[in-house]
Chain A
């Protein structure tokens, strides 16, 4: 994607807070997160388990209620109380693909019902023939045969089940899809098939994805921009290659250094960085979310940001051509 032009913002998250539990058991899962997702891009969200990446996705699609902040979709606020018409529009246009295809499909329903369930609520006027043609079309689009509609989920392999999950979201004609770890439960050889399918659909239908994952090498392949989240706070957000070339926040650096690559020579020489959250001294200067250069956001307080700025200007001259392959990330790991 080209970010030099003015981009249309599709989804905008403003100061999102999500709190689970009450009183003593209160747990603040998301502590004030803001970002924009542009139309037609794949926005990646990485973080370790428990960092809140899934919670953000679920809060946008309104599965988890938010306790503060707002989500703006095409200029309308969609969290909290909204009108019926808007509710219907949002239900239809924002869809989700779940992580585990073995668990996310109703074992007792046939594929036909699973795929068309959404239509029953939104397009009540459809006759059963119309519905069947829509199901057949959706199945064909994800590379399955229309005759599969009469089968049960257990008759399919993991990759095929994930395709059913994708067909289920496509049939609603969505504009924005939240994919929550869509390939981490799949085998290596099947992953590539599903990634290719998602990229193909994005191109053909102009879809926008929020892609949630923990695997950075997958992220690098599929995402246009990546946000790194740690303990409910987004610590860094930048265009994919910029993030890999110039990570600023120490957590991003630690995460990048820990990613295993299928390259023995690189692995032999890699230096592991560890992240120590106590290294931040936020007692005097409060940290905030700041755009340090165009399109590159980082979380920190004033002295830290000053350090990041120097780091950026020091690395600028050598940036002759767009770094993209693992050799560069290899050097970054050693720095």
Chain B
């Protein structure tokens, strides 16, 4: 099982800061992460946890007031963290790493036909014009499951439904044959039935073109459907990372526990749902110790003083919590989590 993975993208101790109203916001606080070729990786977190900011670094879409303070992003021997100008980014953006944005209503140009918008990407990246571009375009539309591509080619975004528009956005991203496809909340704006179709489409494309996909989402149901590996983000840091089954059936970090137990699907009717008290920390302030400690009902003393390093649970699973230190007292996870762990013992082995 454990073969050496082929790392496609490697992030080393990345720190990103924003300057906002004269104050400095520390949005990404030292993330190190390897993403393997051909895997489907999901980043989960609440809004404000920095998951979008983190991946925007991969294609140079950070807002003007943000900058990479320190750290490296290695892709194909290049350090993306050192890229400054748009000219640098053009060799990566779209061609190597493409992104599907959250809201298909706003990410298309309402004044251009679908064909023109896909053609634009084809011209820029593959130098295709005229009939060649048209043929390629129809081919791509077919690929993303849009019926009657010849007719649809000439239509404008307003003639498409939400799900079809998201397919067009995916078509534009796929037009440049990227190696990595980043999907930023690809289905949040869509209905459940359409959501399932779009997720299946992305999965099919991934297998067909051997893509590496990175999903960003706050919906744990979507994550369970698509991901091979999961990273849980909290306050600008990845607190737990592991295989899908590791994180869902044997979570280690108290934040992951809390997140999973607060899902309504695990609740029992008439009883209170497990809820996380308080709100996420303010990233304008310097965070001391474990960022989740103030909301953690059984936080240890050390959680408030020192920031935990990664502790390995298994070769594929690690978490940043002092609970995994050998000196830590035994803290039992909430009953839901313990039950999950017990129920899925065999699946994990």
Measured between beta carbons, the chain A residues less than 8 angstroms from B265 are 217, 220-221, 261-262, 326
User: Would you call A258 an interface residue if the criterion is a C-beta within 8 Å of the partner chain's C-beta atoms?
Assistant: yes
Q: Could you tell me the distance between the alpha carbons of A195 and B222 in the complex, rounded to whole angstroms? A: 21
**In this complex, which of A258, A275, A324 has the most chain B Cβ atoms within 10 angstroms of its Cβ?**
A258
**Interface positions of A from 250 to 298, Cβ below 8 Å from B:** 254-255, 258-267, 272, 274-275
- Interface mask (A199-220 → B, CB under 8 Å = 1, otherwise 0): 1100000000000001111101
Kindly list chain A residues whose C-beta atoms are within 8 Å of the C-beta of B262. Answer: 188-189, 191-192
Asked whether any CB of chain B lies closer than 8 Å to the CB of A159, the reply is yes
Tell me the complex Cα distance, A190–B276, Å: 7
The residue on A at minimum CB distance from B228 is: A264
Name which of B187-195, B208-216, B306-314 contacts chain A: B187-195
Partner of A188, one of B200, B259, B270, B277: B259
Q: Which residue of B lies closest to A257 (CB)?
A: B196
Bitwise, B190-208 to A at CB < 8 A (1) or not (0) is 0111111100100000000
Q: Is the CB of B221 within 8 A of A220?
A: no
Main SS class of interface, A: helix
Q: Which of B220, B222, B259, B265 has the most CB of A within 10 A?
A: B265
The minimal Cβ–Cβ distance linking B304 to chain A, given in whole angstroms, is: 20
Q: Are A191 and B264 in contact (CB under 8 A)?
A: yes
- Determine the distance from Cα of A111 to Cα of B248 in the docked complex, in whole angstroms: 40
Closest to B190 in A: A49
A262 touches B193 (CB 8 A): no
Residues in B with CB closer than 8 Å to A262 are: 220-221, 223-224, 248, 260, 263, 265
Instruction: Identify the interface centre among A48, A260, A261, A272: most chain B CB within 10 Å of its CB.
Output: A260
Output the least CB separation between A148 and chain B (Å).
14
Whether A222 pairs with B264 at a CB distance below 8 angstroms is: yes
Given known contacts A187-B218, A264-B248, A267-B224, is B275 in contact with A259 (CB within 8 Å)?
no
**B279 touching A214, Cβ below 8 Å:** no
What are the residues of chain B within 8 A of A192 when measuring CB–CB? 262, 264, 273-276
Q: Which among A189, A196, A215, A216 is the interface contact of B272 at CB below 8 angstroms?
A: A196
Contacts of B274 in A (CB 8 A): 192
A121 neighbours in B (Cβ, 8 Å): none
* Distance (whole angstroms) from the CB of B39 to the closest CB of chain A: 14
Q: Are B193 and A217 in contact (CB under 8 A)?
A: no
| Shortest CB distance A211–B (Å) | 12
Task: Report if A260-B264 is in contact (Cβ < 8 Å); known contacts: A189-B275, A193-B275.
Answer: no
Contacts of B111 in A (CB 8 A): none
Q: A217, B245: Cβ atoms under 8 Å? A: no
A104 within 8 A of B: no
Separation of A324 and B269 alpha carbons in the complex (Å): 10
* Cβ contact within 8 Å between A264 and B244: yes
Which partner residue on chain B sits nearest A222 by CB separation?
Answer: B264
On whether the beta carbons of B196 and A272 are closer than 8 Å, the reply is yes
Q: Which residues of B contact A214 (CB under 8 A)?
A: 191-192
A261 vs B221: C-alpha distance when bound (angstroms): 4
A150 interfacial contact with B, CB 8 Å: no
Q: Count contacts on A: residues with CB < 8 A to the other chain.
A: 41
The answer to whether A187 touches B46 (Cβ under 8 A) is: yes
Report chain A residues within 8 Å CB of B264: 191-192, 195, 217-218, 220-222
Contact check: which of A188, A220, A265 meets B347 at CB < 8 Å? A265
Q: Knowing A188-B220, A195-B264 touch, does A258 contact B259 (C-beta < 8 A)?
A: no
A326 to B245, CA, bound (A): 17
Number of interface residues of B (CB under 8 A): 43
Compute how far the CA of A48 lies from the CA of B244 in the bound complex, rounded to whole angstroms: 29
- B334 interface residue, CB < 8 Å from A? no
- Is B221 within 8 A of A260, CB to CB? yes
Instruction: Closest A residue to B230 by CB, please name it.
Output: A264
Contact among B191, B219, B244 for A49, CB-based, below 8 A: B191
Q: How far is the CB of B292 from chain A (nearest CB, A)?
A: 11
Residues of A within 8 A of B298 (CB): none
A218→B265 CA distance, assembly (Å) = 7
**Max chain A CB contacts within 10 Å: which of B227, B258, B272, B344?**
B272
Q: Is A157 an interface residue (CB 8 A)?
A: yes
B19 adjacent to chain A (CB < 8 Å): no
Which residue from chain B places its CB closest to the CB of A50 in the assembled complex? B191
B47 within 8 A of A: yes
Q: Which of B258-297 contact A (CB under 8 A)?
A: 258-260, 262-265, 267, 269-270, 272-277, 279
Q: Are A263 and B248 in contact (CB under 8 A)?
A: yes
Known A-B contacts A48-B191, A188-B259, A220-B265; A264 and B224 likewise in contact (beta carbons under 8 Å): yes
> Which of chain A's residues have a CB closer than 8 A to the CB of B195?
258, 260
Residues of A within 8 A of B279 (CB): 157, 159, 190
Residues in B whose Cβ lies below 8 Å from that of A189? 46, 258-259, 262, 275-276
Question: Does residue B70 face the partner (Cβ distance < 8 Å to A)?
Answer: no
A188 and B191: CB pair below 8 A? no
**What A residues does B259 contact at CB under 8 A?**
188-189
Encode contact with A along B213-241: 1 for CB under 8 Å, 0 otherwise. 00000111111110100000000000000
Kindly list 15 other residue pairs between chains A and B, CB separation below 8 angstroms, not including A196-B275, A265-B245. A189-B258, A189-B262, A191-B264, A193-B277, A217-B221, A259-B192, A259-B221, A260-B192, A260-B225, A261-B221, A263-B248, A264-B245, A264-B249, A266-B224, A267-B221
Closest 9 CB pairs of A and B: A260-B221, A192-B275, A262-B220, A221-B264, A48-B191, A192-B262, A192-B273, A217-B265, A189-B276
Pull 24 A–B residue pairs with CB atoms less than 8 Å apart, ordered by A: A48-B194, A187-B218, A188-B46, A188-B259, A189-B259, A189-B275, A191-B262, A191-B264, A192-B273, A192-B275, A216-B192, A221-B269, A222-B264, A240-B269, A255-B193, A259-B221, A260-B195, A260-B222, A261-B221, A261-B265, A262-B221, A266-B224, A272-B200, A324-B269
